[in-house]
Chains A and B, each alone.
Chain A
Amino acid sequence: MSDFVEQWRAELKRLGVPESIAEEMAADLGADIREAEADGISAEELLGSSASDPRAFAASWATERGLVQIRPDQATRRRGRLPLAAFTAVAAIALIVAAVLLATGEPKVALVTSGARPPHIPGSNASFVPPPGRVQASAAAPIEWILLFLALMALAFSGWLWRWRRGRSQLPIAPAQ
């Protein structure tokens, strides 16, 4: 339970609760836990569901006491998480598809897919003729590589967005008083 109190205090500190008030709150909580244990009540029973989430407990207590302010844009940012998750998932799927296409070589994508012989180029010794009906890989249109590149860019962008969101959510919140 000392680990719980440590995490709980760390969260108060992160939120910017003044040290003297955090000390007082920690003393009250610690004394309650000790007294409950002397009565045969475990800390988990005493705290209820908060026993598994010291950070949420600390934030809730400090916020309700008016020691910290909830930024009004927090709810908006929570709502923005779903589209970002969907974007990340689509980018990941595109990356996997591109990787599979590159690894297996099937299906190759080309600009020309007919079975007709390619036009004769005077002076050229080109001898490769793709089989009729088969899609030809084309260095001029490396769709798989373009897809791979775009997927990597999208994943990098979404990774940056996630880090930016996390950084904003971990900013200390100004004490209300």
Chain B
Amino acid sequence: MAKDSRHSQMLRGVLDLCLLAVLDEGPAYGYEMTRRLRDRGLASVGEGSIYPLLGRLEREGLVETYRAASNGGPPRKYYRPSHAGRLALALGVSEWRAARDAIDAVLVQVKIEVAS
């Protein structure tokens, strides 16, 4: 339970970066983003988290939207990073790497492992 909570909290802090990153690969609608995240192992991220976050990114001008027909389906709302969004992604990734390296430098000292 505590493990799930920590995982959720860590993810919450960088989910906007993850969304901007998958959108940087190409425009996508809601479910397509979910699929891209799942393909990279983030299966626990539901649309209940994604859509509100996309709403915030849209409000902050970090993503642009347009409507277009999907493959054989109804027209969908596609998202893509704006110029400001790409800058925010670059800055966020830099911050993430710095934080990850600092944390790794601390945790690398730990010799304890979970018994399987």
Contacts and interface: CB of A to CB of B under 8 A. Distances in A.
Interface of A: 24, 27-29, 31-32, 35-36, 39, 45-51, 57, 60-66
B47 A47 contact: yes
Contacts of A29: 30, 47, 51
A66 B56 CA distance: 8
Given A64-B53, A65-B56, A65-B58, A48 B48 contact: yes
B48 A51 contact: yes
A168 B49 CA distance: 27
A46 B46 contact: yes
Q: Is the interface of A mostly helix, strand, loop or mixed?
A: helix
A47 to B, nearest CB: 5
Nearest to A43: B47
A49 B45 CA distance: 10
5 contacts: A31-B73, A35-B73, A36-B34, A51-B48, A62-B55
Nearest to A62: B55
Nearest to A34: B73
A36 B33 CA distance: 12
Q: Is the interface of B mostly helix, strand, loop or mixed?
A: helix
Nearest to A66: B59
Contacts of B45: 48
Contact of B31 (A36, A48, A62, A66): A36
Contacts of B46: 45-51
Contacts of B31: 31-32, 35-36, 46
Contact of A32 (B47, B52, B59): B47
B52 A48 contact: no
B13 interface: no
Contacts of B52: 57, 60-61, 63-65
Interface in B25-39: 29-31, 34-35
Contacts of A64: 52-53, 55-56, 59
Cβ-closest 3 pairs across A and B: A48-B46, A50-B48, A65-B55
Contacts of A31: 31, 70, 73-74, 76
Given A47-B47, A57-B51, 6 more contacts: A29-B30, A32-B47, A35-B31, A46-B34, A48-B46, A65-B58
